[in-house]
Chains A and B, each alone.
Chain A
Amino acid sequence: MIACLPPPPPSAYRLVEELRDPAAIAGVHRVAMDELESEQALLTKLGARGWGRIHHFRNHYHQPWGERNAAPLSPRALEGLTRFVVAAAFAPGKLPSVFLTDSGGLELCWEDERGGARQVEFKSDGIDYYIADCEEEGSVRLDNVGELVRKFAA
């Protein structure tokens, strides 16, 4: 008698391979003509994985996505995140994680030197932030990235 075990149940969530492995986007990427500075900052400060995720989001999420028809990536949110990353400093060894939200925004999560959580969501119409250390949350306008950077540096 040959007994076959039932196949394992599918995971509730599946990590898309292109997001797991930077090698999935391996190859020579020619940087868009005006984006060298920002690409360098994204790569240096978010690491290969963070840079790869943004690369994936900006190239493959222009249409509604997922089972709930989540909104496509907001160009304003992407520009806001890019400006923030260019200007911000992150604690050594604390690479931020990047997520695409259902509303088409981008969320950046990381820890400060003491391990306190920090979170910023870039949306098409503004930026929301949260600093766990001082239990502070608030919003700033997209053109006020400088103020946000100063707040996180304080």
Chain B
Amino acid sequence: MQLGPRVVSLSTKSRTYPGWPAIRNEPSWLLERVRAAGFVRETERIGVRYIDFFSGDVFPNLKIGVHIEGAPLKDGQIDVTTVLRFGKITTRLQVTNGAIVVTAAGPEVGSVLDIDGWVGPNDSDLFGHGLERFTELHDMVKRLFYSLLKPDYLAQLNPVYP
């Protein structure tokens, strides 16, 4: 759990994401304690963010990319950031093929697909419907993630659908 000015967040440790079913109830525990602490006047946003690391350059395996005169830009560092809106949910999508992740096995160069989804102040009643919002946000981020990967690449990742 991370606590800072205007932010409370709950995050998993790197490479230990247990899957949504295992963590969907964790916000409930957190919300109860934040409510009991009594320091939140108003909610500015409720968000869910997934940061996924891929070995190598992920752009050839994505449905989005950077093109020059119709041809995909290759062999260089590319960073793409954009915002997509889905009703009351806003998502910021960031992709880079210039990331380095450091693990116990050592540093590894690759790509990051970072999807941050949130609802704004007037759709963020944290103690009223906060848990429902977390689920909605998770579902939206998940749909966006899967929609970005090319089918043949997705198949290589052997996804397991609960």
Contacts and interface: CB of A to CB of B under 8 A. Distances in A.
A34 B90 contact: yes
Interface stretch (A1-9, A70-78, A91-99, A108-116): A70-78
Chain B interface size, under 10 / 10 to 19 / 20 to 34 / 35 or more: 10 to 19
B42 A76 contact: yes
B122 A74 contact: no
Given A34-B83, A34-B85, A74-B42, 9 more contacts: A33-B81, A33-B82, A75-B42, A76-B122, A79-B120, A79-B121, A124-B41, A124-B42, A143-B122
Contacts of A33: 81-83, 92
Given A33-B92, A34-B92, A76 B85 contact: no
B5 interface: yes
A22 to B, nearest CB: 26
Contacts of B6: 62
Interface in A55-100: 62, 71, 74-76, 78-80
B44 interface: yes
B83 A76 contact: no
Nearest to B81: A33
6 contacts: A74-B42, A75-B120, A76-B122, A79-B120, A124-B41, A143-B122
Contacts of B44: 75
A54 interface: no
Interface string A133-151: 0000000001100000000
Contacts of B41: 71, 124
Contact of A142 (B45, B83, B90, B122): B122
A62 B122 CA distance: 18
B5 A80 contact: no
A79 B85 contact: no
Interface in B1-56: 5-6, 41-45
Interface string B42-80: 111100000000000000000000000000000000000
A147 B65 CA distance: 41
Contacts of A62: 5-6
A125 B120 CA distance: 15
A80 B83 contact: no
Contacts of B43: 75
